[in-house]
Structure 1
Amino acid sequence: MINIVLFGPPGSGKGTQAQNLIKKFNLKQISTGDLFRYNIKNGTELGQLAKSYIDKGELVPDQVTTEMLKDEVKKPTETNGFIFDGYPRTANQAEALETIVKEILNDDISICLSLVVDDEILVERLLKRGETSGRTDDSNEDIIRARIKEYYAKTAEVAELYKKQGKYVEVNGVGAVDEISEKLFAEVEKIK
């Protein structure tokens, strides 16, 4: 199996590249945002619990997110592995993910791919996306810069953890989409 943790700040092209990795290697993407939406929409016990925190403007505790992730990994799949997107964001979540992958899939995290893009390019990309996406958080430069800063602050400790394990690889996220995809594919091929 191939189990990828995909990192990239807002605007780095992570969504596009995740789709290309999925097609190339027959992977299943698990996005925490999708998990929240699915569980809340379907009124699951975990969804109701998550919603109770979100409605109060609080962060959903790691334990709730981890349980949703566990449920998703347990579902039968005909894929060759997973792309974890938006999780882990903390050292505790990284440890929880290692445990889930080991206990449920009898496997390990294969690699952490991190798309690296200069902040000014990220801001430019997000402002451009905001013109067509209708997302208010993509149309205000101050909010965009705060999101980027928060991303780095949150993911720094997780990146360090994967660096220590020799599983962290940075890939330049600037250039033609296909060229970036080829770089990511090459990194995954090395660990297959």
Structure 2
Amino acid sequence: MINIVLFGPPGSGKGTQAQNLIEKFNLKQISTGDLFRYNMKNGTELGKLAKSYIDKGELVPDQVTTDMLIDEVKKPTDTSGFIFDGYPRTANQTEALEKIVKEILNGEISVCLSLIVNDEILVERLLKRGETSGRTDDSNEEIIRARIKEYYTKTAEVAELYKQQGKYVEVNGVGGIDEISEKLFAEVEKIK
């Protein structure tokens, strides 16, 4: 089983690249963004709570995110593994994910692939996405910059944990989509 943590700041292309990895390796994506949107759209208590943080440009607290993730991992699947997109973002989430993968999936995290993109490119991408997505957090440059800053502040420890395990790989997230995908595919092939 392949279990990938796909890492990168807001606007780095995690969602797009996750889709390409899914098709190539028969994986199931668990995107915290999708989990949040599903819960918010359906007005669940977890969704309302998540939205209150997202609208301010803040990251959702660990336990809310972890509870959503556990529900999703428990669903039956016939895939070769999972892509965790947007989770973990803290040391606590990293520990929780390793426990979930071990206890529920009888596996371990195979690799953490981190998409690296310059902040100004991230802001540009998110503002452009905000023009069509209707997402309030993608339409305000101040909120976008706060999200990016908070992402770096809170996730530095996660990168360090995966580096210590020898599972952290940085991939340049700027360029053509297919070009970036090929780099990611090559890293996954190394662990298969």
Question: TM-score normalised to the size of structure 1?
Answer: 0.87
Compared with structure 1, are the counterparts of its residues 55 and 28 closer, same or farther at alpha carbon in structure 2 (3 Å cutoff)? same
Measured against aligned partners, the alpha-carbon deviations of 1:39-93 in whole angstroms (never above 9, x if no partner) come to 4555778668868999999975433432332221121101010011121111111
Instruction: Point out the more displaced range, 35-44 or 154-163.
Output: 35-44
Answering whether residue 108 of structure 2 is matched by residue 85 of structure 1, we say no
Number of positions where the alignment pairs a residue of Structure 1 with one of Structure 2: 192
CA contact (8 A) 2:57 2:143 kept: no
Compared with structure 1, are the counterparts of its residues 11 and 37 closer, same or farther at alpha carbon in structure 2 (3 Å cutoff)? closer
* Partner secondary structure for residue 77 of structure 1: coil
Shift of 1:175: 0.7
Shift of 1:129: 2.4
Shift of 1:15: 1.1
Work out the percentage of aligned pairs sharing the same amino acid: 90
Of structures 1 and 2, the larger Rg is shown by 1
Following TM superposition, where does structure 1 have runs of at least 4 consecutive aligned residues deviating by more than 4 angstroms? 39-61
Shift of 1:30: 0.8
Q: Distance in 1 between matches of 2:57 and 2:118?
A: 31
* Partner secondary structure for residue 137 of structure 2: helix
Compared with structure 1, are the counterparts of its residues 136 and 68 closer, same or farther at alpha carbon in structure 2 (3 Å cutoff)? closer
Measured against aligned partners, the alpha-carbon deviations of 1:92-121 in whole angstroms (never above 9, x if no partner) come to 110010011011111100000100011121
Compared with structure 1, are the counterparts of its residues 125 and 59 closer, same or farther at alpha carbon in structure 2 (3 Å cutoff)? closer
Q: Distance in 2 between matches of 1:130 and 1:70?
A: 30
Measured against aligned partners, the alpha-carbon deviations of 1:126-185 in whole angstroms (never above 9, x if no partner) come to 222233333333233222221111111121111110010000000000111100000000
Compared with structure 1, are the counterparts of its residues 52 and 92 closer, same or farther at alpha carbon in structure 2 (3 Å cutoff)? same
Compared with structure 1, are the counterparts of its residues 103 and 56 closer, same or farther at alpha carbon in structure 2 (3 Å cutoff)? same
Q: Distance in 2 between matches of 1:111 and 1:161?
A: 12
State the superposition RMSD in angstroms: 2.8
Q: Distance in 2 between matches of 1:64 and 1:93?
A: 11
Q: Distance in 2 between matches of 1:57 and 1:112?
A: 24
Instruction: Point out the more displaced range, 130-139 or 166-175.
Output: 130-139
Instruction: Point out the more displaced range, 71-80 or 170-179.
Output: 71-80
Q: Distance in 2 between matches of 1:56 and 1:15?
A: 22
Q: Give the unaligned 5+ runs of structure 2.
A: none
CA contact (8 A) 2:117 2:174 kept: yes
Q: Distance in 2 between matches of 1:23 and 1:48?
A: 32
Q: Distance in 2 between matches of 1:151 and 1:67?
A: 20
Q: Distance in 2 between matches of 1:115 and 1:55?
A: 24
Instruction: Point out the more displaced range, 145-154 or 171-180.
Output: 145-154
